[in-house]
Amino acid sequence: MKCPYCAHPESKVVDSRPSDEGASIRRRRECLECHKRFTTYETMESLPLVVIKKDGSRQTFDKSKLLNGMIRACEKRPVPFHVLEEISNEIEQTLQNAMDREIPSAKIGELVMDRLKSVDEVAYVRFASVYRQFKDISTFMAELNKLLQEK
């Protein structure tokens, strides 16, 4: 690490500790030339994810959109916000762990529905009705019957 004071290319780490709830590491360094100390932060680099929409267009993955969709599905339901945050974090981590940088929106929708089904069935049906674009009452009833059979 290059010293910000004298530009010497060598320094030693004096202290290291986690920062931002473990999302980064704070390091105190000392220049081997001028002996001044400075702080650096080390964070994991995450590659951008691209979502392929149903119409073929592409957008960068936005976890807040995912969370907002689940919040709408859980409106007036007894689902704590922290549970929805955990689900969105899990889904983002699952997508990051997959080696694909381009993810179809259908896959993301399925991941959300799988998790919502175990959290709140009404929220699951609400999300599924928007996600699967139910055209009439019969497709809606078919989804409800499928849910009842799984119980």
Residue 102: CB atoms within 10 A of its CB come to: 10
* pLDDT string in tens for the chain (151-residue length): 899 999 999 999 999 998 877 778 999 999 999 999 999 998 877 778 899 998 999 999 999 999 999 999 999 999 999 999 999 989 988 988 887 889 999 899 989 988 998 898 888 888 887 777 666 677 767 777 777 777 6
Q: How far is CA 103 from CA 25, 47, 52, 68, 133, in A?
A: 30, 13, 6, 19, 20
- Cα separation, 108 vs 96, in Å, equals 12
Buried b (16+ CB within 10 A) or exposed e, 20-41: eeeeebebebbbeeeeeeeeee
Q: How far is CA 93 from CA 21, 28, 108, in A?
A: 16, 29, 12
pTM greater than 0.85 (yes/no): no
